[in-house]
Amino acid sequence: MKDKKTDWGLTPLEKLREEMDALDRELSLLLQKRLDLVTRIADYKKENHIQVLDRGREEKVIENVLSVLQNPQYAQCLKLTYEGIMAQSREFQTKRLSSSSTSPKKYALIGEKLSHSLSPRIHSLFFEKAGLNATYNLKEVPRDQLAGLLDRLKEEGYAGINITIPYKTELMSALNFISDEARNIGAVNTILLGEEYRGYNTDYYGFGMALDHHGLSYEGKRCAVLGSGGSSRAVIAFLKDHGASEIHLVTRNPQEAKQKFPDLPCTDIKAFTASGFDLVVNTTPVGMSSHSQASPLTEDQLKGAGAVMDLIYNPKETVLLSYCRALGIPCANGLFMLVAQALCAQEIWQGYKVSPGMIEEIYEELNRS
């Protein structure tokens, strides 16, 4: 049906849109005033060394906005709108703090041998896309130089570091704060170097995000974890916390693994069969670039598995994954987990939430190359 003209020569829809346009101009002016205040707050935070993210304050903002709500039907829409506004405010503050600095913020990966790490590439892409003035370096540290390491790094101007094998547990004693998930896992992979030394484990979240990205289900599922090293701890903790019905540990030395995980059934890897398990996760280094022709399981052992995730990302296609494809088993490598855990670390360092779209974008770029 044709929209009839009003006395002003406009259709009712055009009249409503005209009112909307006028209101949008008013909103734009108000949002600009809000950004003026955001800028002043960013400058104050910089002068007083205050982190950008303040979740308690953000919750109060939402409460304040909803306190004047007149139509309950608008509650969810208004809440999501302001969450978006605050996310943009955090990003604006972070960029201002970074751009106003004459020298770049410094971050690094600490480990024993790091020559093949993709971490600098991932973090450099993040800095580029987020518009941050920052660098990310690889720092190989001998074990005899761990004492006082965090103090030395802070003196050198580092704002945060990642930790990889074999130091994920060694540096915990030097921390002032350890997050719940890191304490439960017994390992940290991310440290914020501020007034306090604060430790986290982003492998935990990265693993879960990778499972969701690849559509590999875990809630109420029977799961088998290959390996009992540092990486297995985050995987086991996540599966426990998110409703896996069973978790079986599969290793070369079940007796030793049982001492680490007394509450889990442990099976010798030579006797293991994946039949009946909904999800099999490889946390061992078997199949990495230096041993790319090896697999922790034979093709026969894999038969009957519901899905497989190999935490190895180099090479992209391990022998284990090639067996899965031959058997028609859904599978994935560890590249998405690597990207997700890296950007979870950036959330801790920068103080704001990284959009899922950026994680996907960086993953796709690395996956293509």
Specify whether 200 is located in the same domain as 347. yes
Q: Work out how many domains the chain is built from and give that number.
A: 3
What average pLDDT score do residues 223-252 get? Answer: 94
Categorize the per-residue pLDDT at 134 as very low, low, confident or very high, splitting at 50, 70 and 90: very high
Q: State mean pLDDT over 188-213.
A: 96
Instruction: Print the domain residue range for 17.
Output: 12-99
Whether residues 220 and 320 share a domain: the answer is yes
Catalytic residue among 33, 168, 221, 303: 168
- Structural domain includes residue 210: no
> Which residue did the predictor score with more confidence, 201 or 100?
201
d(CA 218, CA 212): 9
Same domain, 200 and 126: yes
Q: Let me know if residue 186 belongs to a domain.
A: yes
Question: Is the confidence at residue 312, as pLDDT, over 80?
Answer: yes
- Residue 144, pLDDT above cutoff 80: yes
What would the DSSP string read from start to end of 25-70? HHHHHHHHHHHHHHHHHHHHHHHTT--S--HHHHHHHHHHHHTT-S
Q: CA 71, CA 185: separation in Å to the nearest integer?
A: 45
**Do residues 198 and 191 lie in contact, with contact meaning Cβ atoms separated by under 8 Å?**
yes
Note whether 18 and 57 are same-domain residues: yes
HSE of 332, CA atoms in CB hemisphere, 13 A: 20
Give the pLDDT of residue 342: 97
Residue 109: CB atoms within 10 A of its CB come to: 21
Which pLDDT does position 4 carry in this prediction?
A: 59
**Looking at residues 336-343, what average pLDDT do you find?**
97
Do 131 and 77 sit in the same domain of this protein? no
Are 237 and 134 within one domain? no
Is 168 assigned a catalytic role?
Answer: yes
Q: In this structure, what CATH number is given to the domain that contains residue 49?
A: 1.20.59.10
Render pLDDT for 262-281 as a digit per residue (tens, 0 to 9): 999 999 999 999 999 999 99
Indicate whether this model's pTM tops 0.75.
no
Top-confidence range, 161-175, 200-214, 224-238? 200-214
Q: Say yes or no: 257 and 356 in one domain.
A: no
Does residue 114 share a domain with residue 88? no
Within a domain: 334: no
Q: Where are the alpha helices (DSSP H) in the chain?
A: 12-47, 55-66, 75-99, 119-130, 149-155, 180-185, 203-214, 230-241, 254-260, 299-302, 319-327, 335-350, 356-368
Residue 286 is predicted with a pLDDT of 92
Asked if 267 and 289 sit in the same domain, the reply is: yes
Mean pLDDT to the nearest integer, 24-36: 91
What CATH number is given to the structural domain containing 357? Answer: 3.40.50.10860
pLDDT at 303: 97
**Same-domain status, 220 and 198:** no
Quick one: pLDDT band at residue 56, thresholds 50, 70, 90?
A: confident
**Is pLDDT of 6 > 70?**
no
Same domain flag for 17 and 92: yes
